[in-house]
Structure 1
């Protein structure tokens, strides 16, 4: 670590949990190497549980979006119609729905997502390492996507009568959230380099190139589907 980074690290308070998180929240986005430098500061159960829940909520909204896209493209199923009926009940119903789904989704984020993240670390040459640390990086780097996503939802709730209206609105400012999955890739990669000894070119493949291609493919499929099938 260079002298500037060492000085910045020494200026970070050694508070743990929420106090550390909120004092240094900006570092998560702009200086992830410093934010993740001491993972013990983040390894606080309640903070991890709440972070997992927020990610679970964001993932639940993504699943709802997928069903709404299929509905727009004419693929209407009974489950899609049930979902439409539910989210048309207003924002309170919508937020209760995604909050409940988010609780269950949190388990998949930690166990399944964290397991595959650690597997990619192993494939990147990390060798024997603390699997909890890998999961902590996976969780908190995903907040880079989840928190802006939830903020956009809260702002949308002040403009539209329900989520279906917000989803179908012809505005583009909310599309800015597509930036954050790519930003999260950067955050995750920098956190890995700050905590693990990896083979750099392998880490770039597993944590930069392939995730970027996956997101680009997903966005491309959606654009193609609306252009050709709607």
Structure 2
């Protein structure tokens, strides 16, 4: 138990040291755990995006009814998230990992271990996926359904964003530790560019909510 705690401590607070442990990065249980957590959180995010979108524009009643079924029952919400998340985990690993490796290549890495790149991809994303999953378990107890939570989840969103930014920094540190990359390119592709993309997406949602609805 202490050993596992130490591993997670290094992941969150000593990421460069954590990603130097090549034996640990080959542990199948860690890869599966990280991929599973991240896959489920991706489904969480898709549900939230659908709620935001449906709140902004008119959608067919059938689609709205389906989403309403998900967000008004924790049982349905978790069932959908877990089933879809686990079913599509392999897409996260292969497609998400492929694009992650592409960014490593763009940083000047040349020939490198693609399997290691995918492993770093899912583990670095677990840095924010794990706290979000724990947070969702807590709000499941505190709120009657996801819709009730969504209407007042400002603090949760801020905390989640902090972990997202930290996961980007962890990702950069992992890449810089394990691959021969140009640091300034790695900072751009693994920290700056993702932050800019997220800001643009958030700005779009704010714009639509204020001026289009």
TM (normalized to structure 1)? 0.85
**1:129 is paired with a residue of what secondary structure?**
coil
Structure 1 residue 82 corresponds to structure 2 residue 66: yes
Structure 1 residue 198 corresponds to structure 2 residue 186: no
Q: CA deviation at 1:210?
A: 1.0
**2:142 is paired with a residue of what secondary structure?**
coil
Q: CA deviation at 1:19?
A: 7.5
Q: Match of 2:38?
A: 55
In structure 2, distance between residues paired with 1:132 and 1:19: 28
C-alpha distance after superposition, 1:19-57 (max 9, x if no partner): 854322022122110111123212222321122111111
Instruction: Indicate which of 15, 24, 32 corresponds to 1:41.
Output: 24
Tell me which stretches of 4 or more aligned residues in structure 1 moved more than 3 Å: 18-22
Structure 1 residue 164 corresponds to structure 2 residue 147: yes
In structure 1, distance between residues paired with 2:143 and 2:59: 24
Q: Match of 1:68?
A: 51
In structure 2, distance between residues paired with 1:193 and 1:79: 44
In structure 2, distance between residues paired with 1:163 and 1:208: 30
In structure 2, distance between residues paired with 1:223 and 1:98: 26
Q: Match of 1:7?
A: none
Structure 1 residue 216 corresponds to structure 2 residue 199: yes
TM (normalized to structure 2)? 0.92
Q: Match of 2:114?
A: 131
Q: Match of 1:188?
A: 171
**1:158 is paired with a residue of what secondary structure?**
helix
Distance 1:56 1:48, change over 3 A: same
CA contact (8 A) 1:57 1:105 kept: no
Structure 2 residue ranges without an equivalent (≥5)? none
RMSD: 1.8
CA contact (8 A) 1:53 1:105 kept: no
Moved more, 180-189 or 41-50: 41-50
C-alpha distance after superposition, 1:108-147 (max 9, x if no partner): 1100010011111111111111111111110100011211
Q: Greater helix percent: which structure? A: 2
In structure 1, distance between residues paired with 2:3 and 2:197: 33
Aligned residues: 211
In structure 2, distance between residues paired with 1:123 and 1:80: 41
Distance 1:64 1:165, change over 3 A: same
CA contact (8 A) 2:74 2:145 kept: yes
C-alpha distance after superposition, 1:154-181 (max 9, x if no partner): 111122111111112x352212212222
